[in-house]
């Protein structure tokens, strides 16, 4: 069986996948800045700071594939994003190349394209329209992935994750919800499918309200089992508790678009 490294093991997504991946990849190595508080006796963990190349090279040693969920997972100050998501992402790809890692699944984000209006259905080949410094870092990661695929022959899959969790939590997330088991499916395609060179998938389940054309993932065997509409009443009830956001409610990136926004709101009215 291949040895798979998963970074970001202490984060929200990593914590969920720690339970779902071992039956598929028994030789799973976990990494993060600090070990998960509930690390099991049978789990293998090696700490690493993504901004430290030597530490990243150490966790890539002897690895066949990487699921890269490490880094700063929300919007934040530039220096934090720079160290974790820009320098850290480059270090991960470069260390993987040096150590002969064959495949990387990179956790990109819907925030790499967050400034597309919600009425605009988009594919994976659109120009990035990041909604935040965090979104910029994910667009950077996709570009680095393409470089290492085209120049060095690494098989790279970028997943623009929507909203990961057990159920969609509001109206927006009915369009972008991703069931944990469906993310596992997408990761397996990236780690195992023979036709992978460089791919971008949307990390979304079977959502009737989706803004995204995910046909390439479907072509490669993705069959999502989650249905956002099964949670429609819950999502609308939670939406009713939220205050209107004239910017975030218009764009796909939601609140990430509205925070720090001092652009032309009249343009949004005109686009509507």
CATH of domain 4-271: 3.40.50.720
Residues 247-263: pLDDT tens digits? 999 999 999 999 999 99
119 included as an active-site residue: no
Annotated catalytic residue within 25, 72, 116, 134? 134
Confidence tier at 265 by pLDDT (50, 70, 90): confident
Residues 179-217: pLDDT tens digits? 999 999 999 999 999 999 999 999 999 999 999 999 999
Residues 101-116: pLDDT tens digits? 999 999 999 999 999 9
B/e letters for 153-171, b = 16+ CB within 10 Å, e = fewer, are: ebbbbbbbbbbbeebbbbb
């Amino acid at each position: 069986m291949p040895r798979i490294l998963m970074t970001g093991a202490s984060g929200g997504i990593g914590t969920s996948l720690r339970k779902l991946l071992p039956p598929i990849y028994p030789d799973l190595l976990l990494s993060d800045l600090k070990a998960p508080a509930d690390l099991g006796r049978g789990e293998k963990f090696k700490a690493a700071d993504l901004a430290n190349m030597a530490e990243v090279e150490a966790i890539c040693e002897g690895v066949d594939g990487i699921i890269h969920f490490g880094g700063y997972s929300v919007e934040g100050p530039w220096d934090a994003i720079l160290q974790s998501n820009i320098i850290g992402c480059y270090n991960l790809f470069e260390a993987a190349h040096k150590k002969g890692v064959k495949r990387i699944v990179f956790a990109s984000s819907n925030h790499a394209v967050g400034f597309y209006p919600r009425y605009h259905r988009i594919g994976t080949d659109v120009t990035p329209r990041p909604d935040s410094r965090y979104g910029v870092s994910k667009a950077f990661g996709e570009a680095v992935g393409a470089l290492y695929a085209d120049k060095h022959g690494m098989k790279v899959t970028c997943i623009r994750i929507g909203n990961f969790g057990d159920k969609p939590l509001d109206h927006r997330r009915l369009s972008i919800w991703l069931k944990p088991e469906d993310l596992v499916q997408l990761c397996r395609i990236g780690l195992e499918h023979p036709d992978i060179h460089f791919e971008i998938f949307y990390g979304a389940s079977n959502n009737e309200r989706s803004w995204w054309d995910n046909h390439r993932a479907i072509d490669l065997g993705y069959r999502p089992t989650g249905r956002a509409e099964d949670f429609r009443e819950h999502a609308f009830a939670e939406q009713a508790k939220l205050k209107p956001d004239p910017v975030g409610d218009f764009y796909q990136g939601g609140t990430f678009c509205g925070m720090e926004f001092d652009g032309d709101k009249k343009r949004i009215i005109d686009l509507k």
